[in-house]
Structure 1
Amino acid sequence: MDFDSPVLREFLGAGRASAAGVAVTEKLALRNSAFFRAVKLVSTSIGMLPTFLHRRLPDGKTEKAKDHPLYRILHKRPNSFQTAFEFKSHMQLCALLDGNAYARIVWGMKGGRRAVIALIPFKRGSIKPDVSDFGELTFKYQPSNGGPQTLSASDVFHFRHPISLDGLKGVSLLDMAVETLGLASAAERALAKMLAKGVMAGGAIQYPTVLGDEAYGRLRDSMNEDHSGADNAGEWFILEEGGVANPFTTAKDAQSDEMRKRQVEEVARFTDVPRPLLMMDETAWGTGIEQLGLLFITYCLLGWFVAWEQAIERSCFTVAEQDADELYVKFNEGALLRGSLKDQAEFYSKALGNNGAWMVPNEVRGSFELDPREDGNDLPKPAATTVAKPPKEPADA
């Protein structure tokens, strides 16, 4: 097993050292609510989006290559124990945490052609890429039982973070955000210890002289009856005999809260997830969920879409298919941009408009899982326009 393996790090409890004195492991990172939501949002968004294999036709049109074995692998079931959603979500999470995700490519004959018939994820930390001096790519694999193996590039699907320091392996989000996650964990621990062991009194009442029993009793009864409980929050004391109320709350409380908010912002920067999607409610971006979805896709997911599409085309197409350049993989990001029924109605009315329509009725019906119509495969024809004729002048009497 590689000494940089996340599995070995987790087993030894070593983690990644941070300046805050906290060893950042993947479990500790995922306990951070902002980080967990960010990686969950990216991973499940990638997992839920339909991934289709398309074919370019000689007449310039395209079609879904449903007759190709890879279509089912990408869209339905990549292996015997995972759905397409589970496989893509898992691989995406590995790429976020470790920088790399690997799956064994199982080749076979289907329909008289050699094609991928299964994609089986490798255990994390069991495999790593290696390039020889002659540029040949292989993978060093350490199975659970037995000695190390060398696998050819055609047998491994390698999906990595778009950012790479050596052009071979992607950067790990845990490595890059270690200080942010370490500081966030240290702040959480400090707050937890204060709540567990600290003095939680809101303040003290100071008197210049010792109170008598009667005055002390009135003060105690007033505190219990008039100032305890949620309904009396923020109420002020009416003090007698020179009493002064000294609250314990200091600027440190505000600083602690500000630090925790700052760490959420740092997580947003590292993951490219917009702040509102991390529940930073005090900041509003856009006017609705459609704008947020567009922002999320444009600045976070688009890079991952390209990484997925090109990794699949590189590893899961035969050499002949790559040379022919007829097949290509495409994510349907439109699934994340579905707004309200009113927004969809306005969009599709323009798409089917009489002037410059770009969708046919059956495409619109298909987006709502409706059956196609025989007359729904042609673009609407532009509406005929007529020139208004001036009214006739009345004849002279």
Structure 2
Amino acid sequence: MPTLMREGRAGVTGVVVNERKALRNSTFFRAMSLISGSMGMLPLHLMRRKADGTTEKAKDHPLFNVLHRRANTYQTAGQFKSYMQLVALLDGNAYAMKVRSRGAVRELIPLARRSVKPKLSDDFKLTFEYTRPNGGVTTLQQEDIFHFRAPLTLDGLNGVSLVDVCTDTLGIAAKAQSAAARMLTKGTMARGALESDQTLGEEAIENLKASLRENYAGAEAQDDWMVLEEGLKAKLFASTARDSQLRELMQGEAEEVARFSGVPRPLLMFDETSWGSGIEQLGLFFVTYCLMMWFVIWEEAIWMCLLSSAEQDIMYAKFNEGALLRGSLKDQADFFAKALGSGGGFGWMKQNEVRSNFDLNPEDGGNDLPRPGTTAEAIAKEDQADAA
């Protein structure tokens, strides 16, 4: 019977790492949630190439709603994409059963993790060995399965699991965290000590403790000087090199997770990195060097697994990554002004195309490209003259 969580594997530290332990690492969790959440929120449209060379959204095709609105009876399209993306990251592979009606895919139902194994026969025919929840095993054909996998593979069939390649890094991070926990529970937390060459009685010690709590505790005692009696000397405890190395180790392992996932450091909440005016460049970096490969994998998997041979010639899936790169209102205004031919240049967008980006209804006469160097008033007069 397939399990939702595997036993895990031990790395160089001997710590057994599975997805549950991996997701307890804050950096790893942030990276996984950022990637899978971004892929889930981005619009995914089924597009059609028309005979005149233009394209349109294939809203009349059943698969359009599956990809854009509802994947199955219990998951929206966004929930389905986020889940499949996370599974592909953790396991390397994600599988869904195709439910057809009248020849078209009407639903995509995710199959239990690690319940499917791809098999390639000697004559290069691909099938999938599926272990049912009750323990029975059946063979599913290629046309029954939507297979989405990680970009790296060692055999051409199975994607590489991020948890597997991060085992050593996550194990070291877990060890460092355990060491920090031990220091907090069993280590020395006092700020310093009072030393004396004389022997103090129990009553003197208790009076000294009471005086410290009463006169030198809390924020109000900050920067106060203590008056010591009976030859007492104050000695401040300093942090050891071992404590500093522990902090550096934890920071280093967090950076390793960032390298494995491809998410930029500031997006993983490394507070020593300045955001400032570079936030848009961070978004561009994240989309270009982290998400772009997943866009291609999704689009190709949909084209290959969910479209018929005839449909593959005229249809394709397309992510709208612009939803992550919209920038500020000022940046959008500058971009669309140039797109409409501001400054006498050649415009490449129509007014109604710009309006559609803000979910505004089209306007009459807004489906023509702007004429460079011509004002709206002049265009209106020309149209009136042509009509006469």
Query: Given the two structures, how large is their TM-score scaled by the length of structure 2?
Result: 0.89
Q: Deviations over 1:311-352 (max 9, x none)?
A: 000000101222xx2111110000011222112111111111
Q: 1:351 aligns with which of 328, 335, 339?
A: 339
Rounded to whole Å, the distance in 2 between the matches of 1:65 and 1:140 is 33
Quote the Cα distance in structure 2 between the aligned partners of 1:236 and 1:278.
42
Residues 1:300 and 2:278 are matched in the alignment:
no
Find 1:287's aligned residue among 277, 299, 302.
277
Aligned in 2, Cα 1:236/1:6: closer, same or farther, shift over 3 Å? farther
Query: Do residues 251 (structure 1) and 241 (structure 2) align?
Result: yes
1:126 and 1:141 in contact (8 A); partners too? yes
Give the counterpart of 1:126 among 115, 119, 139.
Answer: 115
1:116 aligns to what? 105
Aligned equivalents of 2:202, 2:161: Cα separation in 1: 66
Q: Which moved more, 1:364-373 or 1:142-151?
A: 142-151
Instruction: Quote the residue 1:361 is aligned against.
Output: 351
Instruction: Give, in angstroms, the shift of residue 353 of structure 1.
Output: 1.8
Deviation at 1:283, TM superposition (A): 1.2
Q: Could you say which residue in structure 2 is the equivalent of 1:380?
A: 370
Is 1:46 aligned to residue 39 of structure 2? Answer: yes
Of the structure 1 ranges 226-235 and 350-359, higher mean CA displacement relative to structure 2 is found in 226-235
2:4 matched residue in structure 1: 7
Give 5+ residue unaligned stretches, structure 1: 386-397
- 2: CA distance between counterparts of 1:8 and 1:214? 59
Secondary structure of 1:289 counterpart: helix
Equivalent position to 2:254, from 249, 264, 270: 264
Partner in structure 2 of residue 148 of structure 1: 137
Partner of 1:342: 330
Structure 1: how far apart are the matches of 2:12 and 2:222? 39
Aligned with residue 200 of structure 1, among 189, 193, 196? 189
Does the 8 A contact of 1:204 with 1:248 survive in 2?
Answer: no
For 1:19, the equivalent position in structure 2 comes to 12
Is the contact made by 1:208 and 1:243 (CA closer than 8 Å) also made in structure 2? no
Which of 55, 64, 67 is equivalent to 1:71?
64
- The answer on 1:228 being equivalent to 2:221 is no
SS of equivalent to 2:117: strand
**1:300-319 mapped onto 2 (5 Å cutoff):** 300-319=290-309
Output the CA distance in 1 between the equivalents of 2:107 and 2:288. Answer: 31
Instruction: Give the corresponding residue for 2:96.
Output: 103
Q: How far apart are 1:256 and its partner, in Å?
A: 1.9
Q: Secondary structure at the match of 1:196?
A: helix
Q: 1:236 to 1:168 in 2, by over 3 A?
A: farther
How far apart are 1:263 and its partner, in Å?
1.7
Specify the code of the residue in structure 2 equivalent to 1:52: H
What is the Cα deviation at residue 76 of structure 1? 0.7
Whole-Å separation in 1 of the counterparts to 2:255 and 2:369 = 47
Of stretches 243-252 and 171-180 in structure 1, the one that deviates more from structure 2 is 243-252
Indicate conservation of the 8 Å contact 2:88/2:150, yes or no: yes
Aligned partner of 2:319 among 331, 335, 359: 331
The separation in 2 between residues aligned to 1:26 and 1:86, in whole angstroms, is 19
Change (3 A) 1:217 1:315: closer
Contact 2:5–2:18 (CA<8 Å) still a contact in 1?
no
Structure-2 separation of matches of 1:242 and 1:375: 90
AA matched with 1:38: A
Q: Indicate how the Cα distance of structure 1 residues 160 and 238 shifts in structure 2: closer, same or farther if over 3 A, else same.
A: farther
Q: Which whole-Å CA distance do the structure 1 matches of 2:283 and 2:168 have between them?
A: 29
Q: Which residue of 2 aligns with 1:393?
A: none
The separation in 2 between residues aligned to 1:377 and 1:32, in whole angstroms, is 51
Structure 2 residue identity aligned to 1:59: D
In the alignment, the residues of structure 2 paired with residue 79 and residue 308 of structure 1 have an alpha-carbon distance, to the nearest angstrom, of 18
Query: Residue 131 of structure 1: CA displacement?
Result: 0.4
User: Which residue identity lines up with residue 125 of structure 2 in the other structure?
Assistant: E
Q: Does 1:171 align with 2:164?
A: no
Measure the CA separation in 2 of the matches of 1:384 and 1:126.
64
Instruction: Name the counterpart of 1:392.
Output: none
Residues 214-259 of structure 1, C-alpha deviation per residue, up to 9 Å, x if partnerless? 9867854553245422454576656562624141521222222222
Structure 1 window deviating more from structure 2 (277-286 vs 167-176): it is 277-286
- SS where residue 348 of structure 1 aligns? helix
| Number of residue pairs the alignment of both structures matches | 372
The answer to whether the 8 Å contact 1:361/1:376 transfers is yes
Q: Which whole-Å CA distance do the structure 2 matches of 1:159 and 1:311 have between them?
A: 6
Q: 1:384 to 1:370 in 2, by over 3 A?
A: closer
Report if aligned partners of 1:207, 1:244 keep a CA contact under 8 Å in 2. no
Distance change in 2, residues 1:227/1:16 (3 Å): farther
Structure 2 CA distance for partners of 1:237 and 1:356, relative to 1, 3 Å:
farther
Residue ranges of structure 2 left out of the alignment (5+ in a row): 376-388
Larger displacement relative to structure 2 (26-35 or 224-233): 224-233
Deviation at 1:359, TM superposition (A): 1.2
C-alpha distance in 1, partners of 2:243/2:226?
22
Cα distance 1:191–1:88, how it changes in 2: closer, same or farther (>3 A)? same
